[in-house]
Structure 1
Amino acid sequence: MTDSVGKSVVGHTLVTVSMEVLYPPDVQSLQNQTVLLNNSLTVVCNLTLVGNPPASNYSWIRKDIGRVIGTGKTLIINNIRLADEGEYQCNASNRMQPITNEVLYGLSQSTVYINVEYGAYVREFKSNQSHNSIAVNQGETVDLLCVADGDPEPVLRVMNTTRGNESIMVEIKGREAKYRIQQAQCEYDTGNYTCLADNRYNEGRQLFALLVYCKCILFY
């Protein structure tokens, strides 16, 4: 600026502006969980960024039914059941209101799969629809069937325990084991049989008794 006498004058002013950046929260990736049946489980929804303003709303959704089952950062399931196995989603959100007065909601999500495991056990051990025991004639065929369950999948063994020791006849990993006795002999096959199911939590077993009638030999 130049005044009336020709002298130059420099004028200036300073304005301070405060800028606040709003941003949504960011949920940390959740690790899948494995829990034993009837135990309790706690899963925490942690944030890598809390957001601005900080996240204030948390919810947990059971994804297979699409229903909110909890609020807050922490999900707690007591006495967990097999029906609780599935995928769960944590939602974290904040409410952002810029100077335009248009309210925006920031949202971040992460999912966790909860796997419920349980000890091995034998559901049934039978032969020809008979449970516990069966009697057959010598020379007949006997089919032994053991059905078991467990998670992790159990190892099944069908054993002859007749003579004071355990002779393994079938050993597989699965939930069903079969063993066929061709032409059963009274002197060799009569006795007790055991089905054993085993995983890292439990060992279950069930007995089955087989009686083979000997053929009569007539001498003249």
Structure 2
Amino acid sequence: MPSVSVSPSGEIVEGSSVTLTCSSDANPAANYTWYKENQTLLQGPEGSYNFTSISSEDTGTYHCQSENQYGQINSSSVLIDVQYGPRIPSVSVRPSGEIVEGSALNLTCSSDANPAANYTWYKKNETSPKALGQTFTITNITSEHSGEYYCEAQNIRGRHNSKLQLTVVEAAWKLISAVASATVLPAIILTCLLLWIRRKSATKQLSAPGEGPDSMLQLNSMYENISAAASRHQTEQQDELHYTFIHFTKKHEDPLYSNIMMPRPQKQEEEKVQYAAVNFKTDKTEPGTTTQGAEDDPSELYSKVQKFHKKPRA
């Protein structure tokens, strides 16, 4: 049976030169054919197969076959294990898509390496590692987790790393609150500013000449007191009714009285009669003497009474 040897012996590192040798005792001399798995590589009288710069793709199981006119026989298989440093890692995020505060996240790093790589997670501008292992799990994402991360894959043959940018967005209810604040807050500020300008204007009107900014606090207090007093006074005026009597003399005309006094019916004025003094004149005669005046009837005397009608007021 042919035998197979590998030179140099020991660990095979990517990029190095490696020779496989197949030998067999045969007469006449045998021809050799090399196989990788079931794939034919080389046929010829030479029993050697050379790798000038072996690579990871050359890893696999090899054997040779010796043959002459009297027969053929296969050698035992030999494993060629080519060691190499980690390839550039690939990073995946699960679940994919937008990263929202409060959610859970898995970061996974993978790299082709021989021997297998060890993984370490870092965040930019931080010296201590964030996690060890191929997967980095964040159970409760916050805005502080935003930033640049990278995972490093390392083995005895080398190291490589890959970067990842995480952007954490606020939850929907926070965005709504922020929009409401952005809308309401300017309105509140504008309202306060208008009230301040109005108060300042009123304060200037109440200020006496020569008063400076030092009296602003007192004027503001005065403005508040005056406003409260005016409000109370208006309420009291609405709640209280005052009654009075107006007396006018008859000796002169009052324009106000003429404007507000109800007109008096002229008929009643005409019916009012003022009686003047009644003078009874009798002739001075001697007692026992009869005169014409004494014989007058009392009704005739009454008819002599002068009636004075009060003229209506103009």
Whether TM-score is above 0.5 comes out as yes
Which runs of no fewer than 5 residues in structure 2 stay unpaired?
Answer: 189-314
Q: Give me the whole-angstrom Cα distance separating, in 1, the residues matched to 2:141 and 2:59.
A: 45
The residue number in structure 1 matching 2:103 is 140
Residue 156 in structure 1 maps to residue 156 in structure 2: no
The equivalences for 1:82-93 within 5 A come to: 82-92=56-66
The residue number in structure 1 matching 2:18 is 41
Q: Give me the whole-angstrom Cα distance separating, in 1, the residues matched to 2:60 and 2:108.
A: 32
The equivalences for 1:71-90 within 5 A come to: 71=44, 72-90=46-64
Which one of the candidate residues 138, 146, 165 is aligned to 2:127? 165
**Superposition TM-score, scaled by structure 2 size:** 0.45
The residue number in structure 2 matching 1:10 is none
Residue 212 in structure 1 maps to residue 168 in structure 2: yes
Deviations along 1:162-213, one digit per CA (max 9) or x if unpaired, are: 4431324132xxxxx22221221223x2222221111111101011122334
Which runs of no fewer than 5 residues in structure 1 stay unpaired?
Answer: 1-25, 96-103, 172-176
Q: Give me the whole-angstrom Cα distance separating, in 2, the residues matched to 1:186 and 1:85.
A: 46
Quickly say closer, same or farther: Cα 1:106–1:184, change in 2 above 3 A: closer
Q: Give me the whole-angstrom Cα distance separating, in 2, the residues matched to 1:29 and 1:42.
A: 10
SS of 1:184's equivalent in the other structure is: coil
Quickly say closer, same or farther: Cα 1:109–1:178, change in 2 above 3 A: closer
Which one of the candidate residues 51, 54, 57 is aligned to 2:30? 57
What is the percentage of aligned positions where both structures have the same residue?
Answer: 18
Q: Give me the whole-angstrom Cα distance separating, in 2, the residues matched to 1:137 and 1:88.
A: 53
Normalized per residue, the structure richer in helix is: 2
Quickly say closer, same or farther: Cα 1:128–1:91, change in 2 above 3 A: closer
**Superposition TM-score, scaled by structure 1 size:** 0.61
Q: How far has the Cα of 1:61 moved from its partner?
A: 2.5
Quickly say closer, same or farther: Cα 1:91–1:142, change in 2 above 3 A: closer
When the two chains are superposed, the root-mean-square deviation of aligned CA atoms in Å is 3.4
Residue 123 in structure 1 maps to residue 89 in structure 2: yes
SS of 2:81's equivalent in the other structure is: strand
Q: How far has the Cα of 1:151 moved from its partner?
A: 1.3
Which one of the candidate residues 42, 67, 76 is aligned to 2:40? 67
Q: Identify which range, 63-72 or 194-203, moves more after superposition.
A: 63-72
Deviations along 1:37-90, one digit per CA (max 9) or x if unpaired, are: 34331122346xx45x4x622413215225352331221123334443322223
Verify the 8 A CA contact 1:27 1:108 in the aligned structure 2: yes
Quickly say closer, same or farther: Cα 1:135–1:57, change in 2 above 3 A: same
SS of 1:183's equivalent in the other structure is: coil
The residue number in structure 2 matching 1:12 is none
Q: How far has the Cα of 1:94 moved from its partner?
A: 5.8
Verify the 8 A CA contact 1:39 1:78 in the aligned structure 2: yes
The residue number in structure 2 matching 1:114 is 80
Normalized per residue, the structure richer in strand is: 1
Q: Give me the whole-angstrom Cα distance separating, in 2, the residues matched to 1:78 and 1:192.
A: 41
The structure with more radius of gyration: 2
Matched residue count: 173
Q: Identify which range, 178-187 or 121-130, moves more after superposition.
A: 121-130
The residue number in structure 2 matching 1:179 is 136
Quickly say closer, same or farther: Cα 1:106–1:122, change in 2 above 3 A: closer
Verify the 8 A CA contact 1:61 1:88 in the aligned structure 2: yes
The residue number in structure 2 matching 1:174 is none
Verify the 8 A CA contact 1:33 1:112 in the aligned structure 2: no
